[in-house]
Amino acid sequence: MELDPEADARRLDRDILTQLLMTRGVGEDDIVRNAKPTLREFLPDPSAFRDMDQAATRIAEAVLSGEKITIYGDYDVDGATSSALLVEVLRALSHDAGYYIPDRLLEGYGPSGEALVKLAEQGSSLIVTVDCGAMAHEALAMAREAGVDVIVVDHHKCAPELPPTAALVNPNRLDESDLGAAHGHLAAVGVAFLLAIALVRTLRARGFFTGRKEPDLMSLLDLVALGTVADVAALHGLNRAFVAQGLKILARRERIGMAALMDASRLKRAPIASDLGFALGPRINAGGRIGESTLGVRLLTTRDPEEARAIAGQLSQLNEERRAIEAQVQESAEAQLAGQHNMSVQVLAGTGWHPGVIGIVAGRIKEKTGKPAIVVALDEADGTGKGSGRSISGVDLGAAIIAARENGLLVAGGGHAMAAGLTIFEEKLSDFAEFLDERLSRDVEKAILGQTMKLDLALAPGGLTPDLVTTLEAAGPYGVGWPAPRVALGPVRIVKADIVGKDHVRIIASGSDQRSFKAIAFRAAETEMAQTLLHRSQGRRFHLAGRVKLDDWGSRPAAELHLEDAAFAD
């Protein structure tokens, strides 16, 4: 029998890909569809969502009659991409819609009644809120009284009683259809994309496109991909198709603002999903966090290359400033942790903390402690605090925040399972922390006990190759709900270990097959694992676990391990 190494390699690649998909919940009969996710296979009928047809009809009427439309978006990446998407769709329909992004510090999260009324006074007869509005009962009541129609496009949790709107499109409303509710993992930008489909379909039925070209909705998937990944939406089903196809659009660099953002991020190759979360997204977010809230939408909708380069550069500078501010707040927040080691949810608060970075710091605290964390920036002037929370899998923080608000502990609050925001009076902080501890302690304990590091492959060092990385990437894109593969390498000896940057640990390890590889553990210098590898590894062998990546900085790409855990092998 003649051996065919290339055929064996292809068979192995297929076997690995199949196993990766199945361990992420894909049934054997659904492997083909999930191996290469497309919109054709995953896109639902937008009309299945509550109020979708009403929203599309109302916007279509505004387009046909030339009404003034304003898109009111949140100041984060999901809000910016959602706003940009609807602005671009309306532009393609020859309608010059305006947009309004509130200032995080001066106006806070969500639509304010004052802003909505002002937009109405300036001539807007239709306002579409994106990534906000589902819980804005008072503000939307003010808008209705002012005689302006408001359509809410959101994905955050809803209360049983909905605010007054012309339409409220949100897969997480409690009365949603079964098919709509099955898409509760969508980011707001994904919901906005479905609305764009419904709008074009409505206008097509009315003969709007007779003699004119329909918008190219597929070209908007770069916005959908960026907003979906940056908002940490679960990457399964339709979201995975959105990101997979959106990455292809991004690689073409056709959107002027997106190309400028990639250049500012020094991203020369075709982007992957992690680039959206760690390179592009943070720059867009920096504008809303510590700079000018409209910068993201301006960048993503501009037709001027010079303006795009200037905004992208400004966002990069703001991102550097954000990192410095974030480090200061994180240091202060971590100083409070010692007094909260028995609490199920870390509630940390400080005066002078910048509200623009508290969400990031909450995420860092969550990673450090393994528990949900809420970070609150207190305002001495009025005694209130703006808080942002991040949760762990299995603990619905958004529902707990809504319950706290309903119990009179919060001025305002809402969110979804993994992230939430709130406004609180300082004197309520202790009661609020106790409420969360009592409500969530069992869920947190269960989630922590159930935490394990699941491995997809065990390899000798010689198996860590660029080809393997390429094979594993084929089951992507990866993110929340669709985790990147973890591999274990070993047994190995530590040849060299040192600290690079501020607190990253770099390791050279070698196995019994005489092959060596590089591993790096990010922000881990003070952990017990890192200290063991740095100072107590002589004569010991280890199994190292983490995610494999391609290091393409040198002349020849090399595979490396992004280290997450280590265990003694003997």
Distance from C-alpha of 244 to C-alpha of 251, rounded to nearest angstrom: 11
Write the DSSP string, 480-539: TTBPPP-EEEEEEEEEEEEEETTTEEEEEEEETTS-EEEEEETT-TTSHHHHHHHHS-TT
| Tens digits of residue pLDDT in 374-432 | 999 999 889 999 999 999 989 999 999 999 999 999 999 988 888 899 999 999 999 99
Mean pLDDT of the chain: 93
Grade residue 8 by pLDDT with cuts at 50, 70 and 90.
Answer: very low
| Tens digits of residue pLDDT in 204-263 | 999 999 999 999 999 999 999 999 999 989 999 999 999 999 999 999 999 999 999 999
| Tens digits of residue pLDDT in 513-536 | 999 999 999 988 988 899 999 998
Q: Is 325 buried (19+), middle (13-18) or exposed (0-12) by CB count in 10 A? A: middle
Residue with tokens 């040198």: 554
Q: Is 117:141 a contact under the CB 8 Å cutoff?
A: no
Written as six digits, the tokens of 479 are 């993110």
Distance from C-alpha of 116 to C-alpha of 84, rounded to nearest angstrom: 19
Distance from C-alpha of 561 to C-alpha of 563, rounded to nearest angstrom: 6
CA dihedral in degrees (392, 507, 553, 314; nearest 10)?
50
Distance from C-alpha of 212 to C-alpha of 92, rounded to nearest angstrom: 10
Q: Domains, the chain, ranges and CATH?
A: 46-317 (3.90.1640.30), 335-449 (3.10.310.30), 457-568 (2.40.50.140)
pTM listed for this prediction: 0.86
Q: Which residues of 397-414 are buried (b: 16+ CB within 10 A; e: fewer)?
A: bbbbbbbbbeeebbebbb
Give the Cβ contact number of residue 280 at 10 Å: 26
